[in-house]
Amino acid sequence: MKQSEFAIIGKPIPRIDGMIKTKGEALYTTDISLPGMLYGKMLRSPYPHAKILRIDTSKAEKIRGVKAVITGKDTPDIKYGCMMVFGFPEASDQYFLARDRVRFVGDPVCAVAATDESIATEALEQIVVEYEELPAVFSIEEATKPDAVMLHENNPGNISIGVAYKSGDMEKAFKEAYYVREDTFNTQLVQNCCMEPQVCLSNFDSSGKLTMWSSTQAPFLQKMLMSAVLDIPQENVRVIKPHMGGGFGAKAELFAVHYCAALLSRQSGRPVLICHTREEEFAASAMRHPMRIELKIGVKKDGTIIARKGTNWLDGGAYNSLGPQAAADSLMFLSLPYRQPNVDFQSIRVYTNRSPSGAMRGLTGPQVQLATDIQLDIVAEELGMDPLDIKIKNGLKAGDVTASGLKMKSGSIEECLQKIAEESEWKNKYGKLPPLRGIGVGCNSFPCGTRVLMFGPATALATALIRANIDGTVTINTGASDIGQGSDTVICLMTSEVLGIKMEDVRNMPPDTDLSPPDYYTASSRVTMMVGNAVINAATALKAKLFEAVSKQLEANAKDLEAGDSRIYVKGSPEKGVSFREAVEICQMLNGGSTITAQGNFDPDLGPFDLRTGEGDYSPSYSFGAQVAEVEIDPDTGRVKIERILRVHDCGRVISLLGAQGQLEGSVALGIGGALSEKLFFEEGRYLNPSFLDYKFPTSMEIPDMENTFVESNDPVGPFGAKEVGEGCINPVAPAILGAIYNATGLRFKELPVTPEMILKGLKKMKGEE
Amino acid sequence: MKKIIELNVNGEKHEVAVAPNQTLLEVLREDLHLTGTKESCDLGSCGSCTVLMDGNAVLACMILAVDVKGKEILTIEGLAQNNELHPLQKSFHEKGAVQCGYCTSGMIMTAKAFLDKQPNPTKNEVKEAISGNLCRCTGYAKIVEAILSVKQA
């Protein structure tokens, strides 16, 4: 596709909020204060598992400046589960303020609001809680022992959720396979580490209306969940999302900060701000599910996969959070990105006495992709094949339908791999580099939004409202949350492209649940695909109204008109036209002075889909990608130096060039941390390194040169042909790096992160055996 | 308990009543309402609260307000002069070095202090200079590019 067919799409246009962010003007939730505002704090359990025998808050209540103290007994007896409002009511298992039992170190027990933070902290110190400790389980292995203590009475075996999908004749396929092998992979605890911690400012007024300024990826979901757990009407909850200091998945649901801020505000009659400290963020904010992945693969002599059995064990922590979604997604990731005719997949999420695992960029994709790609590397070696070739051979492509029903609509793994082979000079390097230098390759395919019907079947997957203003600008309102990734800019770019007006003339309304159309959330890489399509449809409908209105004056048929350069004119004769501003005026005059509005939605017919089995087409489309890492190992320190990382990503169409590059670069940085350095150490129920000093996420020094190449496969469903670019790219980082480490040293790792210590040990062992 | 001190921030003098344990970051954000400087770790380990003190990049969460008497503080709000963006602000915006923006103020202030002392750095020197400023969004690539482009300008 030629770039020239677009006026603005695909160009390196700076993001719409870049200027105010560089000036320190952008207001984040932490920057907002209201008259009379109080500061809230939560008292958290020091035990991983205990009964609460007694809570005495009397001393705290008497402290000057303390305006509200609440415990579980002051809350409605309604258990929370992120998916309680859409199809998984049985997944509700959590009291945000413990009523009689705590299940992790950090489980909130009481909350206080005071006139300043130090008074609130002092009040927490004066609260007396008596506990009776219970036995606890800290790993999947411990939790699934037959005699293990149960975290929740309705979940025998501590199984929080299980989903499974099976298709084909496994026994026959494995019998016929030329080569069969089994491997187990383990991944670690990784924290989202948003630079802005969880924070919420709540104001519960006397009319019963709750307004929340919330750093959230999901204002509408928060509204629904808050109404459910407080048992108040949905329309009594208003969620406003200010600028946001990152999300990555950590802020995709409701948390104790939101719940406690609301209740403290109701009790005190004053606005209440609660902001996690960094330590609380590590102790209690959502993190990536540690996983154990057991894979069995059967291939033909030429490397063609004929069967795959996979079991994902997810360490869920103490509560469900969005566990059902994580489990279902991990099942889907087993189906990607390679063809496999016979499959037997299951995902089992297990309760442990740890803060709940939730969402993080890629959800469970990075874990599953590590296992899939490394096992395929091993198979390739056993068959005497190049790992890149076995991935080309099996990679999904447009037209393929996976056993579970995922339909590939554009692009292919092969195209991405061919490109990256060329750019990385793979054939000149693989197996030909000097000792201690190596090269590895990983792949990915990622959904462009999941079909979770949060609002029920009567509401579209996305809706956009658009209004033409009398000054020639337009206002677009989608409810979508820009969490830093740049979706507001994408929305403005698309609006500008359709209407032929300047991007500066498009105003994007930040989400406000009282004013915006319902939006699901910023998660599962859905915004460009789903909201983008709704935006195009809304802008197109608005354009049709303007064309119709000016057609008389221009003595032309509406279908012969065109919009561009902030004008509407007759195709082929740009001089015969009116300015966009005049068009709006004419249209209003013809409509009795009414404001000109339109709406568009995205509600494609994608056939049936069942989240519980993973059967059906999960997403409107799927991205593809490939990554190559080149590493050098220091034999004295065991340190892995990443020389370069190359990425090829099929995002269908680049909408915002700087934004798309930034998404790839950020994904890779996150992936490098997950592969080599990030691990939250957990012992006897406690995190040992809950700070940026001790939890090592990459600094500028750990990031190598990165090279981006986009493939534009022009997706048939995507807006302007676009697919996702925000998450898929993290999945192949670890397998590419681990593959390169193997290529450099002969050390095959099946767990994350790979530390210098592990490499040194491995090198020593190899020497000893020589 | 509180003591009245004079703070010189962005070329303006302010009289503020501060408690002895109050940090410069708290005073900037809560008393002077200069919320462009961000708090992320409150432990001197992320760089989000970086401001300049007499031209040197310092972490406002690790400095007591009472110790700042007589020093010149520059925050992100004081960087643009006469409504003109500082070259670093301009390049961060134009090169796509901003995503969520929460680290941006600290990152720009660190870069300013660094470029003031070393106007022609190499790429590695830039990386080293910002290695105390954490960013979870960008992978630093465009931040490094933005800082280098100012050097060449």
Q: Are strands A128-133 and B12-18 parallel, antiparallel or unpaired?
A: unpaired
Nearest to B139 among A193, A248, A666 (CB): A666
Q: Which of A599, A612, A249, A255 is nearest to A459 (CA)?
A: A599
pLDDT at A189: 97
How do the domains of chain B map onto residue ranges?
A: 3-76, 87-152
Distance between CA A143 and CA A185 in Å, rounded? 18
DSSP helix/strand/coil, A356 = coil
Chain B nearest CA to A26, separation (Å): 8
Q: Residues of B numbered 6-25 whose beta carbons fall under 8 angstroms of chain A's beta carbons: which are they? A: none
Answer whether A659 sits within 8 Å of B48, measured CB to CB. no
**B102 vs A22, A28, A277: nearest CB:** A28
pLDDT digits (tens, 9 = 90+) for A253-283: 999 999 999 999 999 999 999 999 999 999 9
Place of tokens 């704090």: A41
What is the longest distance spanned by two Cα atoms in chain A? 89
Last residue of a domain, one of A582, A602, A622: A602
A243 interfaces chain B, CB cutoff of 8 Å: yes
The residue assigned the tokens 């020197």 is B125
- Chain B CB contacts of A30 under 8 Å are 35, 38-39
- CATH fold of B3-76: Ubiquitin-like (UB roll) (3.10.20)
- Write out the two tokens for B5: 């001190």
Q: Hey, are the CB atoms on B43 and A691 less than 8 Å from each other?
A: yes
In angstroms, rounded to a whole number, what is the distance separating the alpha carbons of residues A248 and A189? 15
Q: In chain B, positions 73-92, which contact chain A (CB-CB < 8 Å)?
A: 75-77, 79-80, 85, 88-90, 92
Contact B121, B115 (CB under 8 A): yes
Q: Which residues of chain A have pLDDT under 70?
A: 1-4, 769-770
Per-residue pLDDT of B67-92, as tens digits, reads 998 999 999 999 999 889 999 999 99
Residue A161 lies in a domain: no
Enumerate the residues of chain A whose CB falls inside 8 A of the CB of residue B108: 22
CA distance A577 to A563: 9
Put simply, whether A323 touches B (Cβ < 8 Å) is no
Number of domains into which chain A is organized: 3
The crossing angle, in degrees rounded to 10, of helices A733-745 and A756-769 is 30
Q: How far apart are CA B132 and CA B118, in angstroms?
A: 17
- A273 and A291 assigned to the same domain: no
Does the CB of A504 have a partner CB in chain B at under 8 Å?
no
**Residues for chain B: how many in total?**
153
CA distance A73 to chain B (A): 32
The answer to the question of residue A757 being in a domain is yes
Does A721 lie in the same domain as A662?
yes
Do A296 and A413 lie in a common domain? yes
pLDDT at site B1: 82
Nearest to A585 by CA among A551, A550, A560: A550
Question: B-chain residues within 8 Å CB-CB of A697?
Answer: 134, 136
Nearest Cα residue to A189 out of A695, A739, A749, A725: A695
Residue type, A90: E
Both A400 and A459 in one domain: the answer is no
Instruction: Write down which residue in A284, A303, A334 finishes a domain.
Output: A284
pLDDT tens-digit series, residues A621-672: 999 999 999 999 999 999 999 999 999 999 999 999 999 999 999 999 999 9
CB atoms A692 and B43 under 8 Å: yes
User: Is some CB atom of chain A closer than 8 A to the CB atom of B118?
Assistant: no
Which of A284, A315, A343 finishes a domain?
A: A284
How is domain B87-152 classified at the CATH fold level?
DNA polymerase; domain 1 (1.10.150)
- CB contact set of B47 (below 8 Å; sequence gap of 6+): B59, B103, B106, B107, B110, B130, B132, B133, B134
In a domain, A116, yes or no: yes
- Out of B36, B41, B128, whose CB is closest to A24? B36
Residue B62 touches chain A, beta carbons under 8 Å: no
Contact A23 B46 (CB under 8 A): no
A557 CB neighbour count, 10 Å cutoff? 10
Helices (H), A595-727: 657-672
Is A533 within 8 Å of A525 (Cβ atoms)? no
Element (DSSP H or E) covering residue A648: strand A640-650
CA distance A468 to A597: 6
| CATH number of the CATH domain containing A470 | 3.30.365.10
Nearest CA in chain A to B88: A22
Do A20 and A46 sit in the same domain of this protein? no
- pLDDT tens-digit profile of B4-45? 999 999 999 999 999 999 999 999 999 999 999 999 999 999
Q: Do A552 and A580 share a structural domain?
A: yes
- What confidence score (pLDDT) does residue A612 get? 82
ipTM: 0.98
Together in a domain, A303 and A335: yes
| Residues whose CB is less than 8 angstroms from the CB of residue A373 and which lie 6 or more positions away in sequence, other chains included | A391, A441, A442, A443, A732, A735, A736, A739
Cβ distance A701 to B131 less than 8 Å, yes or no, reads yes
First to last CA, chain B: 50
Q: What is the C-alpha to C-alpha distance for residues A369 and A664, in angstroms, rounded to an integer?
A: 17
What the block records as the tokens of A130 is: 């008596």
Answer yes or no: is A156 within a domain. no
Residues A556 and A655 in one domain: no
8 Å CB contact between A538 and A465? yes
Residue A507 inside a domain? The answer is yes
Residue A567 main-chain phi, psi, to 5 deg: -135, 160
Do A218 and A292 fall into the same domain? Answer: no
- Measured distance CA(A317)–CA(A349) in Å, rounded: 9
- Chain B partners within 8 Å of A698 (Cβ): 139
Q: Following CA atoms A467, A469, A473, A476 in sequence, which dihedral angle do they give, to the nearest 10 degrees?
A: -20
Q: Please identify which residue in the block is written with the tokens 């969620």.
A: A239
For residues B92 and B46, what is the distance between their CA atoms, to the nearest angstrom?
A: 19
> What does the pLDDT read at residue B131?
98
By mean pLDDT, which of A227-231, A329-333, B112-116, B148-152 is the weakest? B148-152
Nearest to B100 among A24, A484, A670 (CB): A484
Give chain A positions within 8 Å (CB) of B42: 277-278
Closest residue to A22, CB basis, from B89, B132, B135 = B89
> How far is A71 from A87, CA to CA, in rounded Å?
29
B38/A25 touch (CB, cutoff 8 Å), yes or no: no
Does A186 map to a domain?
A: no
Q: Do B98 and A697 touch (CB under 8 A)?
A: no
- Residue B131 C-beta-side C-alpha neighbours within 13 Å: 11
Same domain, A556 and A656: no
The number of helix segments (H) and strand segments (E) in chain B equals 5, 5
User: Phi and psi at residue A31, in whole multiples of 5°?
Assistant: -90, -10
Radius of gyration of chain A (CA): 27
Alpha-carbon dihedral A334, A339, A343, A346, rounded to 10 degrees: 10
Q: Provide the shortest C-alpha distance from residue B9 to chain A (in Å).
A: 15
Residues A337 and A403 in one domain: yes
Q: Residue A349 is part of which domain span?
A: 287-353+364-451+610-769
- How many whole angstroms separate alpha carbon A340 and alpha carbon A304? 9
Q: Which two tokens stand for residue A172?
A: 């026959």
Strands A199-204, A190-191: pairing is unpaired
Q: How far apart are CA B96 and CA A262, in angstroms?
A: 37
Residues of A in contact with B101 (CB under 8 A): 17-18, 21-22, 26, 243, 245, 484
Pair A587, A656 in one domain = no
Q: How far apart are CA A102 and CA A125, in angstroms?
A: 18
In CATH, what number is assigned to the domain containing residue A112? Answer: 3.90.1170.50
Residue A121 and residue A413: Cα distance in Å, rounded? 54
The reported pLDDT for the residue numbered A769 is: 60
Window A:255-294, CB contacts with B under 8 Å: 277-278
Backbone angles phi, psi at B81, to 5 degrees: -110, 135
